[in-house]
Amino acid sequence: MSLTREHYRILDILRKYGELNITRISRLTGLYYRTTVKKLEELVEMGVVEERRFGRLRLFRIKGRIWGELEKQS
């Protein structure tokens, strides 16, 4: 699966702000909540983003040094 414009918007926000929850990512990217959830799940499946859960709270961040590798591909 290749990265879409929405994936890059999410990754840019995570790079800028670090670890965020879904609502914050959705607001900062301007994507609908459900779209944000779907795109984040795809990024987790690809191994680009990691998720941490604290009860109902789901936090997402870029995994390791992935961002530098993604910038080289684009």
The pTM score is 0.84
Full domain range(s) for residue 15: 5-69
First to last CA, the chain: 15
| Domain membership flag for residue 74 | no
pLDDT in tens, 35-63: 999 999 999 999 999 999 999 999 999 98
Q: Are 23 and 33 in contact (CB under 8 A)?
A: yes
> Over the stretch 2-34, which tens digit does the pLDDT of each residue have?
899 999 999 999 999 999 999 999 999 999 999
Cα(70)–Cα(48) distance, integer angstroms = 9
Q: Bigger pLDDT: 69 or 14?
A: 14
- Inside any domain, residue 45: yes
Q: What is the predicted pLDDT for the residue at 47?
A: 93
In a domain, 17, yes or no: yes
CATH of the domain at 51: 1.10.10.10
